[in-house]
Structure 1
Amino acid sequence: MRGRRLRDRLKGWGGVGAMAAVCALALAWALLLPLTRPDSGGTTDAGGPGGVTRATQARADKNCPTPAMEDAPEKQTLSPSSADGKTIQAIKNRPGERRKLIVGVDQNSYRWGYRDPNSGGKGDLEGFDIDLVHRIAKDILGDENAVQFKAIPTDQRIPAIKSGRVDMVVRTMTINCSRLGDVAFSAPYFKTGQQVLAPKSSTITGYDGSLAKKKICTAKGSTANTKLTEDRKAKTLVSTADLRTTVPNQLDCLVRLQLGEVDAVVTDGALAASQAAQDPTVELKGKPFTTEYYGVAMRKDADDLVRRVNQVLVDYRADRANGWQASYGRWLSATLGKTSSTSEPPSPPEYDRKS
């Protein structure tokens, strides 16, 4: 019986063997990746015996410098500008083949940043985040293919930026107050929220008391990991929820779920929806219990680059034919719905950071 249940879980993306291989590649290819180009022409209550949690802005640091930063970290960015500064000039001055934008991305998040297994052996990177990277490179260097991709595990996004290994990270990275102490963010480019993913046959109903005595997987350094840890301390998450399983890459949690090593995964709903599309034996449980935004992360002192990316985002949103909406339709409408209104970032964005 256990063998049959395991086989049922191994449908989806070619089974655990394929998924484990993808995760192994994610670690093995965490160095330089080849240049790629996509083929693109209210409040919710979650009640239960463990108490009630309310959908709020995800907060990863209760010691934020100001209440404004804690309440709306997505507004802590600089106003747009097309001007070149020292950071952009340094990128443009890279000689020869090195004259590229160096970007940290994911290579195993389906429809966000992943290698197409049907690309004829090229292993091209594709997805919503990858489209945005090409748009930024086009604006700064005049060539959408002038990109050097580097695969960055979830828990290495900030170290990669601070060490200078990458110019920016475009990797479904939530803007929050804690991270603002280490990196600078662009204005938001996507709206999402934390959600529970579990087998369809599971008794788990969402972020509620049904998580009692359940093993929950999160990625190290993720918003989900911090949120769950804080909620359990605050007793808004049932105390018997087992949070000990953490992994370097978010997709590793899906493998653990398929193997039966954990009972549920908590991650951004946008990513969880893509994972449910990969494996038809799992599904989203309950509604999102946070509201948060993805941003492009850069060095704290790269003011000119932050302003330039914000200008790119303004233009990207306005371009209905080949911009944000077109990319959403290409990659995400199949998993998140044809109507993108629930995923759209604030419009117009606010730029509260002055320096």
Structure 2
Amino acid sequence: MRGRGLRTGLKGWGGVGAMAVVCALALTFALLLPLFPSGGDGSTGTGGPGLAHGVQARAEGGCTTPEMEAAPEKQTLPPSSADGATIEKIKSRPGEKRKLIVGVDQNSYRWGYRDPNSGEDAVLEGFDIDLVHRIAKDILGDPDAVQFKAIPTDQRIPAIQDGRVDMVVRTMTINCKRLADVAFSAPYFKTGQQVLAPKSSTISGYDDSLAGQRICSAKGSTANAKLVDDQKAGDLVSSAKLKPTVPNQLDCLVRLQLGEADAVVTDGALAASQAAQDPTVELKGEPFTTEYYGVAMKKDADDLVRRVNQVLVDYRKDTANGWQASYDRWLSATLDEDSSTSEPPASPEYLRKS
């Protein structure tokens, strides 16, 4: 399928018909961009009515103190430009294989997605993709020295642990549970969980208006963990139905459009992009968590973690082609022209000791 031929049909990215074409396009390009298999559905919890607005869902594993649990985004190593064993291994790949292998999304509008108007190759682009190119340029001297691999939400950590990718740059929230399995860079984006629902819906936010509603979330996502934990704790109305769970977040928008779900819970940054894809849905209520995206890598890839943190420092300082320029290009239209609420800490803390 050629992207150029889809130009008229996909203009605006709105409506069920357009989204069906988007999904078909994604399936077509799965042949070009390796896709990892996903697991089955997650389980739901039970609990009583109520509502809790917290920082992050309580998670055990990578955080061993209350201070670490309160700010998992600080559990990373100080920046450094030095090469180490991990980076040397990447640089020593022969010939055409001398590339940074990165797990990404290809279906998140303006984050990592295939632009159907970009010609027959329908190249990957978006905010996350810009960051990947910047990291590749720093490590390998060529922003295009990247092998992209499409990964479902629930396969991000296994792909890193199995060594199928060097890193994952895929709107991945830093939290304690994940810190037990992978290492993270310093934050590169700030967001929070939010509710997405049809404009005609009586749902008003993350509150008792979710009673009896079918809530879609991606398996392995922080949204799914938050929903399950809150319902078990009695902080989410017990009659809310925590299904369907899907491999990829975009699938929730399709389920919403097909009437198979009543609401979606996901990061507000992703929800805003989905609302831009379909003018019949909107964000409901305010964000009810505070979360940070980070670049995920193997736990023992210390030199790569330090190098990515140095890249992030330089990326924020670059006023011409850095973080702000990428935000203005990709996200200002779906979030806000003022990027202040999305900016990571201006002076990140690097509290991980080893």
TM-score (norm 2): 0.90
Give, in whole Å, the separation in 2 of the partners of 1:15 and 1:190: 28
Give, in whole Å, the separation in 2 of the partners of 1:31 and 1:87: 29
Could you tell me which amino acid in structure 2 is paired with residue 138 of structure 1? K
Could you tell me which amino acid in structure 1 is paired with residue 57 of structure 2? R
Name the counterpart of 2:260.
261
Per-residue deviation at 1:32?
5.6
Name the counterpart of 1:59.
57
Name the counterpart of 1:201.
200
- Secondary structure at the counterpart of residue 130 of structure 1: helix
Does the aligned pair in 1 maintain the 2:14–2:279 contact within 8 Å?
Answer: no
Give, in whole Å, the separation in 2 of the partners of 1:276 and 1:60: 28
Q: Deviations over 1:274-330 (max 9, x none)?
A: 000010000000000000000000000100000000000000000011100000000
Structure 1 residues 318 and 327 mapped into 2: Cα distance closer, same or farther (>3 Å)? same
Structure 1 residues 295 and 31 mapped into 2: Cα distance closer, same or farther (>3 Å)? farther
Could you tell me which amino acid in structure 2 is paired with residue 338 of structure 1? E
Trace 1:241-260 onto structure 2 (pairs within 5 A).
241-260=240-259
- Secondary structure at the counterpart of residue 335 of structure 1: coil
Aligned length: 331
Per-residue deviation at 1:139?
0.2
Give, in whole Å, the separation in 2 of the partners of 1:122 and 1:241: 42
Does the aligned pair in 2 maintain the 1:109–1:251 contact within 8 Å?
Answer: yes
Structure 1 stretches of 4+ moved >4 Å: 24-32
Does the aligned pair in 2 maintain the 1:75–1:353 contact within 8 Å?
Answer: yes
Per-residue deviation at 1:17?
4.5
Give, in whole Å, the separation in 1 of the partners of 2:249 and 2:200: 22
- Secondary structure at the counterpart of residue 334 of structure 2: helix
- Secondary structure at the counterpart of residue 299 of structure 2: coil
Indicate yes or no: 2:251 matched with 1:239: no
- Secondary structure at the counterpart of residue 155 of structure 1: helix
Q: Deviations over 1:117-156 (max 9, x none)?
A: 1112221111000000000000000000100000011011
Give, in whole Å, the separation in 1 of the partners of 2:252 and 2:194: 14
Could you tell me which amino acid in structure 2 is paired with residue 59 of structure 1? A
Q: Which segment is superposed worse, 25-34 or 87-96?
A: 25-34
Trace 1:48-197 onto structure 2 (pairs within 5 A).
50-54=49-53, 56-62=54-60, 64-197=63-196
Does the aligned pair in 2 maintain the 1:194–1:289 contact within 8 Å?
Answer: yes
Give, in whole Å, the separation in 1 of the partners of 2:212 and 2:220: 23
Indicate yes or no: 2:323 matched with 1:324: yes
Give, in whole Å, the separation in 2 of the partners of 1:269 and 1:215: 19
Q: Deviations over 1:177-209 (max 9, x none)?
A: 000011000000000000000000000000000
Could you tell me which amino acid in structure 1 is paired with residue 274 of structure 2? Q
Structure 1 residues 237 and 23 mapped into 2: Cα distance closer, same or farther (>3 Å)? same
Indicate yes or no: 2:217 matched with 1:229: no
Give, in whole Å, the separation in 1 of the partners of 2:215 and 2:243: 8
Trace 1:262-341 onto structure 2 (pairs within 5 A).
262-341=261-340
Give, in whole Å, the separation in 2 of the partners of 1:81 and 1:74: 18
Per-residue deviation at 1:26?
4.2
What fraction of aligned residue pairs are identical, expressed as a percent? 81
Name the counterpart of 1:342.
341
Give, in whole Å, the separation in 2 of the partners of 1:29 and 1:298: 25
Structure 1 residues 148 and 32 mapped into 2: Cα distance closer, same or farther (>3 Å)? farther
Indicate yes or no: 2:13 matched with 1:13: yes
Per-residue deviation at 1:12?
6.4
- Secondary structure at the counterpart of residue 68 of structure 1: helix
Name the counterpart of 2:37.
none
Name the counterpart of 1:33.
33
Q: Deviations over 1:242-298 (max 9, x none)?
A: 002100000000000000111000000000000000100000000000000000000
Give, in whole Å, the separation in 1 of the partners of 2:148 and 2:74: 28
TM-score (norm 1): 0.89
Q: Deviations over 1:157-176 (max 9, x none)?
A: 00110011100000000000
Does the aligned pair in 1 maintain the 2:51–2:237 contact within 8 Å?
Answer: no
Could you tell me which amino acid in structure 1 is paired with residue 22 of structure 2? V
Could you tell me which amino acid in structure 2 is paired with residue 16 of structure 1? V
Could you tell me which amino acid in structure 2 is paired with residue 173 of structure 1? M
Per-residue deviation at 1:69?
2.2
Give, in whole Å, the separation in 2 of the partners of 1:221 and 1:59: 13
- Secondary structure at the counterpart of residue 170 of structure 2: coil
Does the aligned pair in 1 maintain the 2:15–2:277 contact within 8 Å?
Answer: no
Per-residue deviation at 1:27?
5.7
Does the aligned pair in 2 maintain the 1:32–1:148 contact within 8 Å?
Answer: no
Give, in whole Å, the separation in 2 of the partners of 1:80 and 1:137: 16
Give, in whole Å, the separation in 2 of the partners of 1:161 and 1:32: 20
- Secondary structure at the counterpart of residue 236 of structure 1: coil
Give, in whole Å, the separation in 1 of the partners of 2:250 and 2:228: 20
